[in-house]
Structure 1
């Protein structure tokens, strides 16, 4: 899978993409990630990527010319062109899994007061938000999307079955996890986990998921069969 990221701040991704799971996935050629500076497609001597908004208002708006030129230079047949923006569609586990099946993604990171609407109208296929808050720019949002979808690419995770039980996979939060020692500072691991009865363990874990979801995210329970 190939991912191209367009951003004004490519340095924000350098360490993130070279560490841990993503770094190993890139070394194993499971995931190709290319980070591009949007200014490379600006044609004036100052490499300008923004201008004042028509109609007035605070802040600057990213210009059509460099972004459209960049996307058109990078795109391939059938690729998905995505703009990371707070007013996009909420990002979910299901969306991450869907995107992981694409051959090529282009992720556009916005900045300032956003991008010219004509970019969104002509060279963007989908708009995604990672939450109801505003970041200084969309580069971190692009990183979140990459990290989440990478976990669904075969071979990236060492323990593939972990995908089936983690938070949000079935619209439930995760169950509590424990490891050795069995007793720490007077707190014991639940007895059911020590008995080796896998059927009872699964029942306990599911009950814990329901209880935790009801307490912290009752909205998710409405999506349960």
Structure 2
């Protein structure tokens, strides 16, 4: 039951990713990212290139504007929407990274990998993704076999430590601007250890505490 409640906060909707209409629309319109005063970057359709400038049509309102070519950033195909590991992006640029994090966050997916790192955005609410049942889902699994989660990072580090690679566990670092969620992530990691460590233990609901 807990796993079913957690699925929407862990897994991407495959139907959304594999939408052939979205793929065709992206290819036909030559979609790119251009600077936006309101949102940092916004999608636009590349219409014409003239010297060092380009004419684009903004997706939001259909308005045509001139932009410097150097300010245009490529947009990834729709199949990369809400990708779990941003290292897989064909176009790895600022606009695409921010868009991917934003899309995942608005879908309730707060964890995203970026190569060796795991990016977490504070949801400012409790999510049903911290429990002993969820811990068991990640136990012994390779990182690419499961959706991004602090439990996957902790499991990998713990197994490396048990195999004598102590530095892997010692260097698991939680670094964030949001102090409250930093503690939550840190405690969730400890909660995993409390369950699977030599002493055994329990994970409190919400991942906000640990009993050992």
Tell which has more relative contact order, 1 or 2 (C-alpha 8 A, sep 6+). 1
Give the shorter-chain TM-score range. under 0.3
- Using the size of structure 2 for normalisation, the TM-score is 0.28
- Using the size of structure 1 for normalisation, the TM-score is 0.27
> Quick check: which has more Rg, 1 or 2?
1
